[in-house]
Structure 1
Amino acid sequence: MGAPHWLTLFGLILAAWVLLYFMTLPAGMGAGGHGRGGQFWIGHGAVTPDLAGYGRVVAMWALMSAAMMAPTALPAFATYDDLSHSGATARFWPLVAGYLAVWLGFSVIAGAAQMALIGADLVTGPGDSRSALLSAGLLAVAGLYQVSPAKEACLSKCRAPLTFFMQHFEEGPWRNGLRLGLVCLGCCWALMLLAFVGGMANLAFMGLATLIMVLEKLPQIGRWLTRPLGATLIIAAIWVAATGI
């Protein structure tokens, strides 16, 4: 993974996390000595009830998706890179682009959902839940989905990328990237929506969620994680609903 395309990918992932950091800083921290580039992004997570606000929300979701989901797909990217042999770089970026295109589509939908929830006063501008029932519902949906056949079917493909790509390799990198993105979306959409519960401005939550999703896609570790995580989320949903916290 020392090839230039891998170093570029790692740099883009790091850049997404850095931008998320600046976007989650309160606008008033602009005088804290950050460079001009950092100051440009500070406060861009602020949401207004208009098209510009929707654009900021979608940008935030897109950055979150890139920062959180690209690391979970690194084993699959590496598998495809190995299969490509000659001309790996030319095939690598269309694969990554197809993968991220799916998550960009998710970001557009998630952004619209966030704006609707803001309008209903169920979440704050930064995307944190104001409603214990909403939080409990999201936790319950995520917990139940963890133990669903759909989740297991998607995870089985994410955990065996060689088999997955061998079945569709002739379709080319772009379509393989789209397929991989859809499978990953099937694995992780419910966990990603827990950002409304954990806080879209909470980098610690994002980091923990990323680690969980990375581990869940590893065959030897993930099989011991998926169902216990589902049970934990369901218990958390019951506790939040009962206590109103």
Structure 2
Amino acid sequence: MEHVSATGGREMPGRPIDMLVSQRAFFAVSALLFAVSAAVTIVSATSMSAMGEMAMPGGWTMSTAWMRMCGQTWPGLAASFLGMWIVMMVAMMLPSLVPMLWRYRQAVGGTGEARLGWLTVLVGVGYFLVWAALGVAVFPLGVALAALEMELPALARAVPIAIGVIVLIAGALQFTEWKARRLACCREARGRCLMLPASPAFPADAAAAWRHGLRLGLHCSYCCAGLTMILLVAGVMDLRVMAVVTAAITVERLAPHGERAARVIGAGIVGGGVLLIVRAVGLG
């Protein structure tokens, strides 16, 4: 039953309670999804680590993520890699994605709670579809490079220095205006890259939700380009590297001064890249 408020508008008595329940359900589902994806990622990484790595010329080891095991087909290896990649990305990106999903839910307020839930799911699926596509592109490149490194010892010996150089470049990228623009889009900064309207006028339909998820995924994959490179070259299934990259992504997205945080992170990455190069030259 409706009643007239003191301001003359009509209110639904159960609406505040419904919104509170919806809010709690949203954060509970997000926490559960993060916990499950993190647990699966840890189990997968531990299982792969137990299989051992291949010692390579130059004093480094190659992950089995790029190698076909006995009795395993190439499609099977690709499917296994893609599955691990998607679950890993859910665990790594969800902490910084949840606030963006919450802002989306606020922007499309006024629709039914059940419909709002499905629209939120569509945004999330669109977002992670972009990361899945990146995994599809990364796998053949990783396999090809691994094959070349096993066939060419000279190339394998150059890998430690190459890793240091890539890490150094990734750190330098944190200081660029390009990074600042992409980060502003991920943070939906007002005045720089506002992807949602200031007023609750965002279309509450499936097509708009899908497009918004894809746009978020593209912007955030661009923003994470340097950090993703570090993940790939330093250990795609290394739990320590994953934890550090996840922390860096979350801090620069959610910290009050994101650009400043990105530069601080970049300084640390540059220092790490220099140390890796010095170490590689010393071992060589």
Query: By the TM > 0.5 criterion, same fold?
Result: yes
2:113 is aligned with 1:92? no
SS across alignment from 2:256: helix
Could you list the runs of 5+ residues in structure 1 that have no partner in the other structure? 31-43, 123-128
Structure 1 residues 201 and 155: CA distance shift in structure 2, 3 A: same
Q: 2:68 aligns with which of 30, 48, 52?
A: 48
Structure 1 residues 145 and 81: CA distance shift in structure 2, 3 A: same
Within 2, Cα distance between the matches of 1:46 and 1:115?
5
Structure 1 residues 53 and 134: CA distance shift in structure 2, 3 A: farther
1:126 equivalent in structure 2: none
Moved over 6 A (4+): 27-30
For residues 53-85 of structure 1, what are the alpha-carbon distances to aligned partners after superposition, in whole Å with 9 as ceiling and x for unaligned? Answer: 222222222222111012211111110011122
1:37 equivalent in structure 2: none
Q: 1:195 aligns with which of 205, 224, 231?
A: 231
CA contact (8 A) 1:154 1:184 kept: yes
SS across alignment from 1:121: helix
CA contact (8 A) 2:30 2:98 kept: no
2:260 equivalent in structure 1: 224
Q: 1:165 aligns with which of 179, 196, 211?
A: 196
2:265 is aligned with 1:234? no
**Distance apart, 1:161 and its partner CA:** 6.0
Within 1, Cα distance between the matches of 2:240 and 2:247?
11
**Distance apart, 1:14 and its partner CA:** 1.5
Within 2, Cα distance between the matches of 1:137 and 1:9?
37
**Distance apart, 1:100 and its partner CA:** 0.8
Q: 2:245 aligns with which of 199, 209, 220?
A: 209
2:34 is aligned with 1:13? yes
Give the 5 Å matches for 1:120-131. 120-121=148-149, 131=159
Number of residue-to-residue matches in the alignment? 226
C-alpha RMSD over aligned residues: 2.9
Within 2, Cα distance between the matches of 1:100 and 1:28?
26
Q: Percent identity?
A: 22
Higher radius of gyration, 1 or 2: 2
CA contact (8 A) 1:121 1:130 kept: no
